[in-house]
Structure 1
């Protein structure tokens, strides 16, 4: 009687788990990330900053409604909220990069490398979690704006489209910061880069005042600022004056950023 010996490498190959499909991995990892929303402190803090901005800007800058270039017949809160939806989406994108940098620093992703899962699934799950958190923020902003008299000519449909544009901008930029984090891998540096990029884009744009009311040098920057396209698109739908060119430009820029940054991130996250 003969006995066939099994080599250790062959045995290891037989028992190695095959792993689940990418969609299943994304679903499970997204569900894992969503558990963070059970912490009311996290939800409250994520809502606090955009709500403060809405409250302050709607009261401090309401006299801008009398400035040149302001849409006739519109209240400042109707003019402001679409911009706040877009800028909040942009600011929330920084959290995506900071969160990934934290996971890379504390070794969370290193532990996932030992499992039979795609590293890209981790990035997609993180982006979906941040997209949902961003959606919660934007819905809360709309509800809060109602207390300040928000009643745009575009109604519910216009506001919903403005919200979707804000989400698309947030999705595109979140992948940009995810890509940066996959290569930089430093939380403090990610936060500094985020503020350096987002705040100039926010204030050198058409977000808070009409471009005609800006200084000449800033007017030039605001005209070519990609965030201005998104703000003008969101505001146009909310005020029942759709800017189709700005809408197409905003969505196209967001899509290009998302795809390009996802390709860069997929390479960066595989680095040891």
Structure 2
């Protein structure tokens, strides 16, 4: 006698061979490399690159002519042309402007949905900020290099420190741009709006610029302004960059800007990552 049952025949479990882990994404190094490359593609768009290159050159043209007569004052260093005195300072001031652009760019991406798209992927928030920092630092370095070349070809920039001195001044400016970029990215994660970032950053840049030794020696400033200029971080960076360009570098001056940059990054970078993670 045959017994019939309704139970289906046993089949091997097809899910046994399926992977049980979820894809966690690439490593942080790969993420930073890809995100940096994405931001660096701005170099392909002349509409984004040309204004960033022309703006500091136009400002250098104006200031080098307007304040040229200051080279005749008694407090001005003897035997130094004004363009040799001014251009290293302009490298530093351009670094501050470039750092502000990092914050503005991040607020723009927070509002146009790109960051929200990144959050839907297995991408670490720190990778997004580090990639932005690296790309913006490279872009600012390219702009500053163009400024040095234009200064030499058009304005007669020929400092006593030669090529090595100019390269050292450029390096200090790039370090400052990289470190201040973290400050403005932290601020952008709090403000979250480009229209709020630009005026605040502009005020900070204006105060640091004109209350420094960028255009005239500190000795030629009024007492109250001189006191502020002597503690202004931008003044220390300008002094180091200028001494390198003019071939008069002192170890005590050269150590201050890197130390300031390291302190800024150690404070601002964790703060930027923490505030960025809380953005919804």
Normalised by the size of structure 2, how large is the TM-score? 0.92
Check conservation: 1:96, 1:130, Cα contact below 8 A.
yes
State yes or no: 1:248 paired with 2:255: yes
Of residues 216, 226, 243 in structure 2, which corresponds to 1:219? 226
- The 5 A counterparts of 1:160-179 are 160-179=167-186
Tell me how far apart the structure 1 counterparts of residues 163 and 43 of structure 2 sit (CA, whole Å): 27
Displacement of 1:224 in angstroms is 1.0
Q: Aligned residue for 2:144?
A: 138
**Counterpart among 40, 49, 52 of residue 58 in structure 2:** 52
Secondary structure, aligned partner of 1:269: helix
Matched residue, 2:7: none
In 1, the alpha carbon distance for the partners of 2:276 and 2:15 equals 36
Tell me the residue number matched to 2:235: 228
Unaligned stretches of 5+ residues in structure 1: none
Measure, in 1, the Cα distance between the counterparts of 2:81 and 2:94: 20
Equivalent positions of 1:30-109 (< 5 A) are 30-109=36-115
Query: May I ask how many residue pairs the two structures share in their alignment?
Result: 268
How far off is 1:246 after superposition?
A: 2.3
Whole-angstrom distance in 1 between the partners of 2:22 and 2:42: 31
**Residue 35 (structure 2) pairs with residue 29 (structure 1):** yes
Q: Which has the larger radius of gyration?
A: 2
RMSD between aligned alpha carbons? 1.6
Superposed structure 1 runs of 4+ greater than 3 Å apart: 2-7
Equivalent positions of 1:148-227 (< 5 A) are: 148-227=155-234
Aligned partners of 1:68 and 1:210 also within 8 Å: no
Residue 212 of structure 1, CA deviation: 1.0
State the distance in 2 between where 1:204 and 1:89 align. 16
**Could you report, residue by residue, the CA deviation over 1:160-201 in whole angstroms, capped at 9, with x for unpaired residues?**
000000111111111100111112211111111101111100
